[in-house]
Amino acid sequence: MADHRIGLSYGGGVDVLVTGAAGFIGSALVPVLERDGHRVVRLTRETGAKGVDTLRWDPTEGRIDAAGLEGLGAVVHLAGAGIGDKRWTSSRKRAISESRTQGTLLLAATLAGLAKKPAVLVSASAIGYYGPRGDEELGEDSPAGDDFLAGVCLAWEQATAPAEEAGIRVVKIRTGVVLSPRGGVLERMLLPFKLGLGGRLGTGRQYMSWISLDDEVGVICHLIGRADVSGPVNLTASNPVTNAEYTKTLGAVLRRPTAVPTPITPLRVLYGRELVDLLLLTGQRVVPKRLAASGYGFRHTELEPALRDLLGKPAA
């Protein structure tokens, strides 16, 4: 894990509230925060969760332990229903949207009403905000798209408004495809690629804006400590690649062939046309302009060295 410590002006460790602490990103972030001497408080919906550093909430019911949030130094909000793991039925799309907007609005409004407010709220979003844009280079000032995911991201970010209006510094992290063999897209791809069944998706020309899990965690820590950064920040490496480039590179790292394209019809049968077409056959070419300006030092900037590091496959 990259060494990116939180450079806050507080004395000693900082109390950091994390939602989604048991998720893919949260479970990597929490031990880094704790290693650096910060007390992590987990905000969870789990009814059986106990402990002095665990607080309960239920966004659907509008319930949250407001008293337990008093005096926190920072809040990292990562909670939300998975986007790509189930077919997008009308009920699933509603869950994807409401799990983000309801939870974010409840948290932001509660933080805004505290007597001792946190200095910063780092709130999750995604590069889906921009919608399918071909090979157009997208920075934080690029406009939102008009598809389902863009609408979700726009509403998700707007739900932080109560915290901003109360004077809390809010950072909206528009995260790209997070790479780690321990979860997410890369974990799901490893078995078929290792079996020699990996191939490009569709034309392969769609862009994939990626970031390693190490850098995702490092950036979040960096942004907690940067009092001069607020608003949207793209969390992607500086060199996005096309799906064809990603496929070829992963195959080369694993020393497996990737000549045969992945069949799309079975994926559409399993996950539905809308999900497959929007998540797999289109993409965004996103660049981290504000991160670069903030002085963040990426551990992984090029795809092949990143994959070799993550998978323990050094170059021959």
| 186 domain residue, yes or no | no
For position 85, what pLDDT does the model report?
87
Domains identified in the chain, total number: 1
- Mean pLDDT calculated for residue range 22-42: 95
Average pLDDT of the chain is: 93
Q: What is the pLDDT of residues 250-299, one digit of tens each?
A: 999 999 999 999 999 999 999 999 999 999 999 999 999 999 999 999 99
| 33 domain residue, yes or no | yes
Confidence of residue 14 (pLDDT cuts 50, 70, 90): confident
Q: What is the CATH number of the domain that holds 292?
A: 3.40.50.720
Cβ-contact 220, 278 below 8 angstroms: no
| 313 domain residue, yes or no | no
The boundaries of the domain holding residue 166 are 15-180+210-238+287-302
Q: What is the pLDDT of residues 160-194, one digit of tens each?
A: 999 999 999 999 999 999 999 999 999 999 999 99
| 310 domain residue, yes or no | no
| 43 domain residue, yes or no | yes
